[in-house]
Structure 1
Amino acid sequence: MSVFRPGLFKDKVAIVTGGGTGIGKAITEELLTLGARVVIGSRDGDKLNTAATEMKKLGDVTPIRCNIRKEEDVKNLVEKTLEKYGKIDFLVNNGGGQFPCPAADFSLKGWNAVIETNLTGTYLMSREVYNKYFKTTENGGCIVNIIADMFRGFPMMAHTGAARAGVENLTRSLAIEWAQQGVRVNCLAPGPIFSQTASDNYAKDFAPFEIARPGIPAKRLGNPQEVSSAVCFLLSPGAQFISGATLRVDAGGSLHSKQMWHIDDHENIPPYTWNPYKSKL
């Protein structure tokens, strides 16, 4: 009998950071459809609660406000998950954020915000789930870290490129250190995946998805569901002998397409001024 069947994740408990919008919401919806109970975390409590209300028709979903850059928020998220469900089977580190800017122009606040969100936040979530549950159970657990196509550098996104590369290396380290506890840790690297949430995060006169589209061998953008199905594969028994790997979901773009920005494009990038009170990170 194939492992890919209805109820594949029945009675499993998952945490998905950034689980209320875009790719994270698609992951949450697919996990719910497959029978999992899902805790979604995000810094934006209003969006989180709205998303949870929408997805309750699919299954058991619990919103918990969490800024993954803050250690106390992370601890609270894990503690409340264990209080409600008594266990954690899966962790999907999807929460993140960035903004386009030439490397020479980053403010320290802007740089630190992206590093802390994408790299430190992933580490804090992984460490807390491991210490509070994975290492205490014979069943281990599974972590999937969402990164990006940063394999040839990431012009105009050097902060997130550095952070995501750090997450990939962290993934390999954790996969080795935690293997004896039955924990698998993998990365998934989406290419240009269109979601309205991601599009809205950029300036209205700036269209990075359309810039990227011509260079993709398939000549189209991906969609969040094409990421969520790959995440569910990595969480499934079908991937139980896979750990420390990176799965690229990019239609071959990382092998072929041009980088999103070139040095002669810099003048077309909208100016960015760091404002910690308006940031979506």
Structure 2
Amino acid sequence: MFAPNTLAGRVAFITGGATGIGLEIATQYSRLGASVVLASRNQERLDAAVEALSKEGAKVAAYRMDVRNPEEVEAAIAFTLERFGALDILVNNAAGNFPCPTATLSPNGWRTVIDIDLNGTFYCCSAAYEALKASRFGGSIISIITMLGVTGWPNAAHAAAAKAGILSLSRTLAVEWGGDGIRVNTISPGPIGDTVGVQRMYEETGRAEVEKKRTALGRFGQCADIANAAIFLGSDLSGYVTGDNLIVDGGRWLKYVAA
């Protein structure tokens, strides 16, 4: 679909990059010429991801960090610049969530998800600003959210609020940082079948067919669908696109239900 040199020379930093959507984005980015730095709290998963990508000939490095810690985030960006000499694309993919009725959601539970999703995204954007401003390609920030943060997410008020906050933050930064050559966009995935989250929430609970019917296309998506969107937003193909929320959810946000 994309030319082999679509991302040639670019350096991408991807949080939550050791598994799932983050790893698929890293994989596709590297195949199109980008150098990638994977960030995660789990060293074992990072090691496995780096090993897999290295076997493909990818230019890849990993940094263990917690997005909730701004000092660790700043150190990770510094590591990226030292290792690859630049930073052109920031992908905010790290996220936390757990189902809980809002009436019984504890302050600590609320705080934890807000801290990972919303605060972590801000810390990464802030730490990466100067490097993205200096990018010879023009910087690109891509944050993974969900339309459930716009339409409402019963039993996940913490995650819904965080994702809505990321959307607002991204559009604010698109305006503030546009003059610095930095584009800021979001991607809203729907149910992605080859992720642990969907497997646990829907397939293992027997809800898979119902959830598929909630999409206009009647099926789950794949991590590759989100990676394709991230390639578009990270490349010159979207050079005049900023402040956008690219919905890749099979039409679930339309609340379609098959007969």
TM range (shorter): over 0.9
Q: Are 1:188 and 2:181 an aligned pair? A: no
Match of 2:53 in 1: 55
SS in 2 for 1:56: helix
Match of 1:101 in 2: 100
Worse-matched range after superposition: 206-215 or 81-90: 206-215
Distance 2:97 2:174 in 1: 26
Distance 2:14 2:209 in 1: 28
- 1:198 shift after superposition: 2.0
For normalisation by structure 2, the TM-score amounts to: 0.93
Worse-matched range after superposition: 195-204 or 167-176: 195-204
Change (3 A) 1:220 1:202: closer
Match of 1:18 in 2: 16
Instruction: List alignment gaps of at least 5 residues for structure 1.
Output: 259-281
**Contact 1:39–1:61 (CA<8 Å) still a contact in 2?**
yes
Match of 1:64 in 2: 63
Identical aligned residues as a percent: 36
Distance 2:255 2:203 in 1: 28
The one-letter code sitting in structure 2 at the alignment partner of 1:153 is G
Task: Return the match for 1:148 from 119, 128, 146.
Answer: 146
Distance 2:256 2:36 in 1: 35
Please give the root-mean-square deviation of Cα atoms over the aligned residues, in Å. Answer: 1.9
Q: Are 1:171 and 2:167 an aligned pair? A: no
Change (3 A) 1:209 1:93: farther
Runs (4 or more) in structure 1 with deviation over 6 Å come to none
Match of 1:221 in 2: 220
The one-letter code sitting in structure 2 at the alignment partner of 1:157 is A
CA offset digits 1:76-110 (Å, max 9, x no partner): 11010011111001001011120111011111111
CA offset digits 1:130-160 (Å, max 9, x no partner): 03x1234564300001001212101111110
Distance 2:172 2:207 in 1: 32
CA offset digits 1:22-59 (Å, max 9, x no partner): 11111011001101000000011111111111111231
SS in 2 for 1:206: coil
**Contact 1:195–1:224 (CA<8 Å) still a contact in 2?**
yes
SS in 1 for 2:161: helix
**Contact 1:22–1:198 (CA<8 Å) still a contact in 2?**
no
Worse-matched range after superposition: 134-143 or 92-101: 134-143
Distance 1:240 1:202 in 2: 36
For normalisation by structure 1, the TM-score amounts to: 0.86
Distance 1:93 1:210 in 2: 30
Distance 2:166 2:178 in 1: 17
Distance 1:50 1:203 in 2: 26
Distance 2:232 2:164 in 1: 22
Change (3 A) 1:92 1:209: farther
- 1:246 shift after superposition: 0.3
**Contact 2:21–2:195 (CA<8 Å) still a contact in 1?**
no
SS in 1 for 2:109: helix
- 1:5 shift after superposition: 1.1
**Contact 2:87–2:135 (CA<8 Å) still a contact in 1?**
no
**Contact 2:187–2:247 (CA<8 Å) still a contact in 1?**
yes
Task: Return the match for 2:41 from 40, 43, 46.
Answer: 43
Distance 1:156 1:129 in 2: 33
- 1:164 shift after superposition: 0.2
Change (3 A) 1:202 1:46: farther
> Aligned pair count?
255
Instruction: List alignment gaps of at least 5 residues for structure 2.
Output: none
Change (3 A) 1:153 1:47: same
**Contact 1:27–1:228 (CA<8 Å) still a contact in 2?**
yes
Worse-matched range after superposition: 195-204 or 63-72: 195-204
1:221-260, aligned counterparts within 5 Å?
A: 221-257=220-256
